[in-house]
Amino acid sequence: MNDIITHYHNHAQSLAAQYDALPFGRVHQSWLPRLASVPTGNALDIGAGSGRDARGLQALGWQVTAVEPAAALRLLGQQHTEQPSRWLDDQLPDLPALTREGVRYSLILLSAVWMHLPSAQRGVALARLASLLTEAGMLVISLRHGPSEPGRAMYPVSVEELAELAAPLGLQLELPDNQALAQDCLNRDAVRWQTVVLQYRM
């Protein structure tokens, strides 16, 4: 992931402007209604980028921990996110800093992150995320379908792979958008998205 992190660090200003041009509610409209069933508490935004999603969650009453390994992006996010949200330098698949803290979260969001993890790392990553999720919490992962972009290695993703990894962890997978491939908010013709919600079986 180091080359990817370097890319995000070196292009922080332009990427932050791109992210912030898209409203939080529009990007996450497929799953946001489900938040009504989750008690508001600690939220974890992994790959927080410019802080757009952290700010959106904070406005809904969540206490947000924003994780961003690219230093320049993290600095921009910190500058534009109000307290009490906090920012942390950590990264998948192991998330060592978060693991040491031992805090569990009612909401964990990975927006446009999963495709950067090679398949060999995804089992470890999902197990670590599951360990950070409360029993009644919700893990939201967006899946990007489409070609890689220069400087940003991306690997194929699928709902089927994620469901196979989730089952032994006791996580149930749902597609709030009814399996539809959503158009890209940046209007890239070759890119489509799926949102996956994972929760512990009750």
Domain parsing of the chain, residue ranges = 2-9+40-79+91-200
Residue 183 has a pLDDT of: 75
Residue 1 has a pLDDT of: 60
Name 23's Cβ contacts closer than 8 Å, sequence gap at least 6: none
Name 194's Cβ contacts closer than 8 Å, sequence gap at least 6: 142, 143, 145, 159, 175, 177, 179, 180, 181, 182
- The per-residue pLDDT string of the chain (202 residues; one tens digit each, 9 = 90 and over) reads 688 899 999 999 999 998 999 899 999 999 999 999 998 999 999 999 999 999 999 999 999 999 999 999 999 999 988 777 899 999 999 999 999 999 999 999 999 999 999 999 999 999 999 999 999 999 999 999 987 777 788 999 999 999 999 999 999 999 986 556 777 677 777 788 899 999 998 7
* Omega prior to 147 cis, within 30 of 0: no
Please state, in angstroms and rounded to a whole number, the distance separating the CA atoms of residues 35 and 148: 31
Q: Of the CATH numbers 3.30.2020.30, 3.40.50.150, 3.30.70.890, 3.30.930.10, which one belongs to the domain with range 2-9+40-79+91-200?
A: 3.40.50.150
Tell the residue number behind the tokens 């599951």, with chain if given: 130
Q: What is the pTM of this model?
A: 0.94
Which amino acid is it at 43? A
Start-end of H helices in the chain: 2-10, 12-20, 24-27, 52-59, 71-80, 96-101, 119-132, 159-166
Residue 180 has a pLDDT of: 67
Residue 91: φ, ψ to 5°: -155, 155
Residue 162 has a pLDDT of: 97
Residue 147 has a pLDDT of: 79
Residue 132 has a pLDDT of: 98
> What are the Cα distances from residue 31, in Å, to 162, 182, 196?
17, 13, 9
Residues 110, 98 contacting (CB under 8 angstroms): no
Residue 178 has a pLDDT of: 59
Residue 179 has a pLDDT of: 56
Hey, CA dihedral for 20, 18, 25, 127, is it positive or negative? negative
Hey, CA dihedral for 117, 120, 122, 124, is it positive or negative? negative
